[in-house]
């Protein structure tokens, strides 16, 4: 079955009624015939048929063994972090998602889970940070917001050779474009809030593993700590997934056009988009993924005011998040990366003048016209 078909038919119709969609099993519990005699469902924190369908579907999409659905991307990430214990150390891409950095730096650190950062553009720098306490490496590719490409296979190889596990946050790519487990990763994480849900109408997180032992441990954490996704949201994510391929195709096409426009504009200074041949990660991206994604970050030249620019947008909304059908602009320094130390932000290029655009599936021409108009508003000459 090809991926596009899997998106529609990965989880089959309801056995009882033939309904073509997985029903929303809005129930906390299940009637049991006798002691220990049940139909495989006992209590919805441990298992719910709607959530189970989504978990099966994401596992198939990532070509993994077992999937798990959580109340948010951060709940998925937190559950994965609970696989480790006090004294363990995790190595992070230095420009990891701000919320991931925050939960490790300010929450898990209180339980003595340690971390260090490495340059994801240089997998060799990872080797130098490995010592017996290091138990995992956590990466994203592309990174957010400066679109650094990590060679996932190279990182997974170094990690594997040292007996440590590789965790990849695949939110920006989705399994339509990139399958980290096939590149050697052990765990894939998603904020399904983004492209998988796809409509900016829910918060959800997913995790997929390809080893039984990791699956058993993560399942134990999921049911013990309880950060599960509810049945209605599970249904909504399944619905979003059905159109993933067609949405992503349009996202990619629009992003390439918008990136080209921005590159040609004399108001734009730096631009971060892995689809440009001169992007340092372009070659690796072509090798490990099926497209360049639809997120573009850029800065404006001196003489343009960033606040006037975002206020001048009429179609593209200023707001947190990405991956929805509608285009969204964010200001990473005050939004997604607000809790990252300023000094680290500066070093990574997350300056106060940087904006990030999640290109939606509207008319590309309308988006370009909107940017053009906002750039005219931003000129302070």
Ligand X SMILES: *Cc1c(COP(=O)(O)O)cnc(C)c1O
Q: Of 194, 247, 345, 356, which one is the catalytic site residue? A: 194
How far apart are CB 278 and ligand X at their closest, in Å? 24
45 is catalytic: yes
**Residue closer to ligand X, measured from CB, 48 or 93:** 93
**Residue closer to ligand X, measured from CB, 215 or 324:** 324
DSSP class per residue in 215-251 = HHHHHHHHHHH--BPPHHHHHHHHHHHHTHHHHHHHH
239 is catalytic: no
How far apart are CB 29 and ligand X at their closest, in Å? 27
Report residue 228 CA to chain centroid gap.
Answer: 18
How far apart are CB 79 and ligand X at their closest, in Å? 12
First vs last C-alpha separation in the chain: 57
- Whether residue 294 contacts residue 280, with contact meaning beta carbons closer than 8 Å, is answered with no
How far apart are CB 339 and ligand X at their closest, in Å? 13
Q: Which of 214, 164, 179 is nearest to 58 (CA)?
A: 179
**Residue closer to ligand X, measured from CB, 184 or 332:** 332
How far apart are CB 73 and ligand X at their closest, in Å? 2
194 is catalytic: yes
How far apart are CB 328 and ligand X at their closest, in Å? 12
Which residue of this chain has its Cβ atom nearest to ligand X in the complex? 73
Q: Please give the Cα distance from 122 to 36 (Å, whole number).
A: 53
Q: Which of 58, 144, 157 is nearest to 100 (CA)?
A: 144
How far apart are CB 191 and ligand X at their closest, in Å? 3
**Residue closer to ligand X, measured from CB, 97 or 304:** 97
Q: Of 45, 47, 217, 223, which one is the catalytic site residue? A: 45
**Residue closer to ligand X, measured from CB, 350 or 378:** 350
Q: Please give the Cα distance from 58 to 73 (Å, whole number).
A: 14
- Whether residue 375 contacts residue 267, with contact meaning beta carbons closer than 8 Å, is answered with yes
Q: Please give the Cα distance from 284 to 215 (Å, whole number).
A: 30
Q: Please give the Cα distance from 331 to 310 (Å, whole number).
A: 9
Q: Of 60, 88, 95, 97, which one is the catalytic site residue? A: 97
**Residue closer to ligand X, measured from CB, 52 or 95:** 95
Question: Which regions of 293-379 does DSSP assign to beta strands (E)?
Answer: 295-300, 317-318, 328-330, 354-358
Question: Which regions of 4-125 does DSSP assign to beta strands (E)?
Answer: 66-70, 89-93, 114-118
Which of helix, strand or coil describes residue 285? helix
Residue 91 CB partners (closer than 8 Å, separation 6+): 115, 116, 117, 118, 126, 129, 130, 134, 136, 137, 138
Residues that bind ligand X (CB under 6 A): 72-74, 97, 99-100, 140, 144, 169, 171, 191, 193-194, 203, 205
**Residue closer to ligand X, measured from CB, 321 or 379:** 321
- Residues annotated as catalytic are 45, 97, 169, 194
């Amino acid at each position: 079955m090809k991926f596009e078909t899997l998106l529609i038919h990965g989880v089959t119709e309801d056995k009882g009624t033939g309904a073509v969609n997985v029903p929303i099993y809005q129930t906390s519990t299940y009637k049991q015939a006798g002691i220990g005699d049940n139909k495989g469902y006992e209590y919805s924190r441990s298992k719910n048929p709607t959530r189970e369908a989504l978990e099966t579907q994401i596992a198939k999409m990532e070509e993994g063994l077992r999937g798990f659905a959580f109340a948010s991307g951060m709940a998925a990430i937190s559950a994965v972090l609970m696989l480790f214990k006090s004294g363990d150390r995790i190595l992070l891409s230095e420009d990891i998602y701000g919320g991931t950095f925050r939960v490790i730096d300010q929450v898990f650190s209180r339980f003595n889970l340690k971390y260090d950062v490495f340059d994801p553009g240089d997998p060799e720098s990872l080797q130098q940070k490995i010592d017996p306490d290091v138990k995992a490496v956590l990466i994203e590719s592309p990174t957010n917001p400066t679109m650094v490409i990590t060679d996932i296979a190279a990182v997974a190889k170094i990690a594997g050779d040292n007996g440590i596990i590789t965790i990849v946050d695949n939110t920006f790519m989705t399994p339509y474009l990139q399958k980290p487990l096939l590149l050697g990763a052990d765990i894939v994480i998603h904020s399904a809030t983004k492209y998988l849900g796809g409509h900016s109408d829910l918060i959800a997180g997913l995790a997929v593993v390809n080893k039984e032992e990791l699956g058993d441990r993560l399942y134990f954490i999921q049911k013990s700590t309880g950060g599960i996704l509810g049945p209605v949201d599970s249904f909504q994510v399944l619905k979003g997934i059905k159109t993933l391929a067609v949405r992503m195709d349009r996202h990619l096409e629009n992003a390439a056009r918008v990136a080209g426009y921005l590159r040609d504009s004399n108001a734009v200074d730096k631009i971060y988009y892995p689809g440009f041949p001169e992007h340092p990660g372009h070659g690796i991206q072509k090798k490990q993924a099926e497209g360049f994604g639809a997120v573009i970050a850029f800065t404006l030249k001196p003489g343009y005011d960033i606040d006037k620019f975002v206020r001048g947008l009429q179609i593209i909304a200023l707001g947190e998040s990405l991956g929805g059908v509608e285009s969204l602009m964010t200001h990473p320094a005050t939004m997604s990366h607000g809790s990252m130390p300023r000094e680290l932000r500066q070093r990574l290029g997350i300056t106060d003048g940087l904006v990030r655009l999640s290109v939606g599936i509207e008319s590309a021409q309308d988006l370009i016209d909107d940017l053009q108009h906002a750039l005219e508003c931003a000129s302070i000459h």
